[in-house]
Structure 1
Amino acid sequence: MTAPLRIHVVNGPNTNLYGLDPAGPYGALTLADIGERCQLKAEGLGATLRFRQSNHEGVLIDWIQDARTEADGLVINAGSLSYSSIAIRDALSAVAKPSFQVHVSNVFRREGFRHRSPLSEVVTGCLIGLGPSGYEIAIQALIEHLGRV
């Protein structure tokens, strides 16, 4: 029997505020709601999931590095660090695990500085503007990429 895939979902700055402004670009679901949906998706596909959030870049880097030995792949929503963190980019690159980047909002309908992410250059794929369901789609895509669906 094959061991279940281990997936880590890492969330960056301000994602913990999701759901506070239902009329805003992130909708009514809280990060806890999204985490529950991701857990159900992963379990339904036979995978285990670790879902975490921090507002601190160094903590995110530590979690990405943990994935080197503790996960088969990653889903990352680095929040605003998506546009500026070379350190997170380098961590994703060094860990060399399949990874999918999630942007809940359509960044191309927002400010110009959001149109480029250094993380996008090193991840396996990007899901942009699909709302909270982007996380679940990323989990599905990661599992398919790993050849388990």
Structure 2
Amino acid sequence: MNFYMLILIQLTMIYMLNCSVNIKGKTSILATKNETTKTNFTKSIKKFRAQKRTKILLINTTKKPKEAFKTSNKTLINKQKFNNITKTTIQAGMKNKTIIANNKISNRTKNMNLNRTLKKTKLSNRMMNITVRIT
């Protein structure tokens, strides 16, 4: 008798907690409707933000399709130039910024200029977009 009463009390407590959490607008303890997918989605977003990744948008203005390669967002850019820019300069946690890297100057100067730009725009604990434009 006592054992069944304890189980019943625990179930009612879980149900009450579930109702109170749903009222607040957060994800529920019990998996109902589409809330499991919602929780997984929010967890993945939190995980993504915690890693301080930076989304890099590449714009090709070189007009050299033979030397270029396709990136995930379907833009063309020269592979060697892309490697030179992204190897040491672009780090996570930067502010929204368009970085202009000139083809005519050497890679060393280009990297120094990029570093200077990124140091000015650095922010901590935020996921930001960086646009690298090769002109």
- TM-score (ref. length: structure 2): 0.22
- TM-score (ref. length: structure 1): 0.20
Q: Which has the larger radius of gyration?
A: 2
